[in-house]
């Protein structure tokens, strides 16, 4: 194609001329406000405090957990958002994983049943599936919309949420914390790291950096600053990434390629590249603001038809299941809180199964460690998943083992419960759902408003009893904030406010 001077001129090459005016008219309208509820959450018509509301007016046609909100909604100020009931996400961004589900729901691969039937299995079959769970890679994951969506939809899988740009990792971690999902491993590696295990992943999601033409509604200067050279630069970068990561996918695995741009160079040409590498295109679709009422996007779902075998990991049944562990929490909490860290570390025996290149959970030992502080509901944690320690951090994860190469490179996995400091354990924000009732406290609406704004609280009679302690602050029975009580006041330790 010859070089074009303006975005308007270029648009005629990918959109029928009779739709050009409709496109630009739609770009002058404000984008729809939309959210995606997590599976555990229920849709609510009224939420918030002191008049702060969000109101669901419609559902998203391609995502049953997606909701379109009224124009006056303020979802980011809602308490439901703080407690992780939903993710604020454009409906166009929800489409890629929704299209994937259309094909994966009928896919069995090396497994004997579809991915999404896990919850209906009997105990014996469920144990078999736990021993052969699937792996999903979200290669360019931040800020986490597709990571949390696919992890919520495929809870029996391990989702590796990778972000190579270090400055984007904090936003990714923050959104994963809010999601409360336990099956996500966060890494910050380039493709060469994953090539030590080619053909390892069952699904790869690649929502790659692009020109961003679909975001014109939100970023008006995109039209003014648009250049065809930028399209070509991004297209070249995307092709390099796709070539580098395509053989990480196992035979018959699914590849989801998506962008938030319109150009053929960044979309169809990259699909053609994957087809030339042995992939079969199952379906592709471009979303337009004037047709689909969303930010622009492109998605293609492909299947790997290369005859290469996945490197298998032989996962044996684990003898110690956290759900069978019984801990006397009162006895555990009676241990001296000032036990030094060296004494704590000596009591831990972290098992590394190098024969199978797996790191196994050490739930029982970690529960003993957590019970040294009075904050945690030990039995609830034991019922919820498996515990691991990595360096000075304790994590709760959904699976009894993690491949060693992922464990070693993980920035985070599951939800962090605590960090090990010089004089004991410091609860992590994610642990507020697992606090003992003795260390949960309800405050009034005025104090909730201050905490929501990221402010600290003054020390009052309700808090003086907990001097020097950490607390999980509740609203309507739901944990929302992590605070620490000190003589100077109540410190708000909740991230992302």
pLDDT in tens, 307-319: 754 333 333 333 3
pLDDT over 80 at 155, yes or no: yes
> Would you place residue 345 in the very low, low, confident or very high pLDDT band (cuts 50, 70, 90)?
very low
- Beta-carbon contacts of 304 under 8 Å, excluding residues fewer than 6 positions away, are 246, 249, 250, 251, 252, 253, 254, 255, 278, 279
pLDDT tens readout for residues 209-243 = 999 988 887 777 777 788 999 999 999 999 999 99
Q: How confident is the model at residue 42 (pLDDT cuts 50, 70, 90)?
A: low
| pLDDT tens per residue across span 80-129 | 898 899 999 999 999 999 999 999 864 333 332 333 333 333 444 444 44
Over residues 451-495, the pLDDT tens digits come to: 999 999 999 988 999 999 999 999 988 999 999 999 999 999 998
Quickly state the pLDDT bin for 258 (edges 50, 70, 90): very high
Euclidean distance between the first and the last CA atom of the chain, given in angstroms as a whole number? 47
Q: What pLDDT, on a 0 to 100 scale, did the predictor assign at position 119?
A: 35
Two structure tokens written together for 434: 């697992």
Catalytic residue status for 210? no
* pLDDT value at 332 more than 80: no
CA-CA distance, 205 to 183, in Å (whole number)? 16
Token digits of residue 95: 């489409």
**Length of the chain counted residue by residue:** 497
Catalytic residue among 210, 260, 294, 366: 260
Give, in words, the CATH class of 7-30+89-304.
alpha beta
Whether 338 shows a pLDDT value over 90: the answer reads: no
Mean pLDDT of the chain: 84
- Residue 132 pLDDT: 59
The pLDDT, as a whole number, for residue 422 is 86
């Amino acid at each position: 194609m010859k070089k074009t001077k303006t975005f308007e001129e270029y648009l005629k090459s990918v959109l029928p001329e009779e739709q050009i005016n409709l496109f630009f008219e739609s770009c002058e309208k404000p984008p729809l406000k939309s959210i995606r509820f997590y599976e555990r959450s229920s849709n609510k018509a009224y939420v918030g405090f002191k008049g702060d509301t969000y109101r669901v007016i419609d559902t998203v046609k391609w995502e049953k957990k997606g909701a379109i909100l009224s124009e006056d909604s303020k979802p980011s100020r809602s308490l439901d958002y703080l407690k992780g009931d939903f993710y604020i996400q454009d409906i166009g961004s929800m489409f890629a994983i929704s299209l994937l589900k259309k094909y994966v729901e009928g896919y069995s691969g090396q497994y004997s049943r579809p991915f999404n039937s896990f919850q209906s299995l009997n105990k014996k079959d469920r144990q078999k599936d736990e021993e052969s769970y699937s792996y999903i890679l979200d290669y360019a994951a931040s800020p986490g919309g597709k990571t949390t969506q696919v992890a919520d939809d495929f809870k029996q899988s391990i989702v590796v949420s990778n972000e190579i740009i270090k400055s984007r990792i904090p936003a990714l971690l923050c959104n994963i914390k809010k999601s409360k999902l336990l099956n996500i491993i966060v890494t910050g590696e380039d493709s060469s790291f994953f090539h030590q295990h080619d053909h390892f992943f069952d699904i790869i999601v690649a929502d790659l950096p692009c020109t961003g033409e679909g975001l014109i509604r939100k970023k008006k200067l995109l039209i003014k600053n648009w250049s065809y050279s930028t399209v070509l630069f991004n297209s070249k970068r995307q092709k390099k990434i796709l070539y580098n990561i395509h053989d990480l996918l196992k035979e018959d695995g699914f590849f989801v390629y998506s962008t938030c741009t319109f150009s053929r160079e960044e979309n169809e040409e990259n699909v053609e590249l994957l087809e030339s590498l042995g992939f079969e295109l199952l379906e592709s679709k471009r979303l337009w603001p004037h047709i689909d009422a969303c930010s622009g996007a492109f998605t293609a779902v492909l299947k790997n038809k290369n005859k290469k075998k996945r490197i298998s990991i032989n996962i044996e049944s684990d003898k110690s299941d956290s759900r069978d562990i019984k801990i006397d929490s009162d006895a555990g909490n009676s241990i001296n809180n000032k036990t030094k860290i060296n004494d704590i570390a000596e009591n831990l025996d972290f098992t590394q199964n190098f024969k199978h290149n797996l790191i196994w959970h050490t739930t029982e030992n970690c529960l003993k460690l957590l019970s040294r502080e009075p904050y945690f509901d030990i039995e609830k944690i034991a019922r919820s998943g498996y515990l691991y320690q990595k360096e000075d951090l304790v994590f709760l994860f959904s699976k009894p083992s993690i491949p060693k190469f992922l464990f070693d490179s993980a920035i985070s996995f599951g939800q962090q419960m605590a960090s090990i400091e010089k004089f004991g354990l410091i609860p992590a924000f994610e642990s507020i759902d697992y606090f003992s009732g003795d260390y949960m406290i309800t405050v009034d609406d005025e104090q909730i408003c201050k905490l929501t704004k990221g402010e600290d609280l003054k020390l009052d009679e309700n808090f003086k009893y907990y001097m020097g302690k950490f607390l999980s602050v509740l609203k309507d029975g739901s944990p929302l904030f992590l605070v620490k009580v000190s003589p100077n006041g109540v410190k708000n330790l909740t991230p992302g406010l």
